[in-house]
Amino acid sequence: MRVRYIPALIMLLAGAVTSIINIINKVDLLTSLKRLLLILIIFYVIGLIVKAIIVKAFSNRTIKEEIDDIEEAEEEKQEPVPDQKTDLKTNQKPNIRTDRKSDKK
């Protein structure tokens, strides 16, 4: 999405509506131009505010997605990989004692 054009779009729509209303009401040209200039400035500022809100909302969403991806990758790294000596069914090492009493005799 091209957020760069949002302020201009909002401003031009408001200017078009203002111009149509001024033509319908048969307002004097100088008065109509003053109103149009004021409306264009006001709605351009409103468009800039809307653009900033949209950019911030999308950047927060992408940051949250990146954080989630990083957390998932860390969780995958922390999962133990069973080595060859572990029991595959229980994922525990077998209980083998090397220091038997019978071996000492």
Question: Is the pTM here over 0.85, yes or no?
Answer: no
pLDDT at 49 over 90: yes
- Give the model confidence (pLDDT) of 13-48 as tens digits: 999 999 999 999 999 999 999 999 999 999 999 999
Q: Give the pLDDT score at 100.
A: 56
pLDDT in tens, 64-99: 777 777 777 777 777 655 555 555 556 565 566 665
Nearest alpha carbon to residue 14 among 36, 30, 33, 45: 36
- Residue that is written with structure tokens 């999308």 in the block: 58
pLDDT at 58: 82
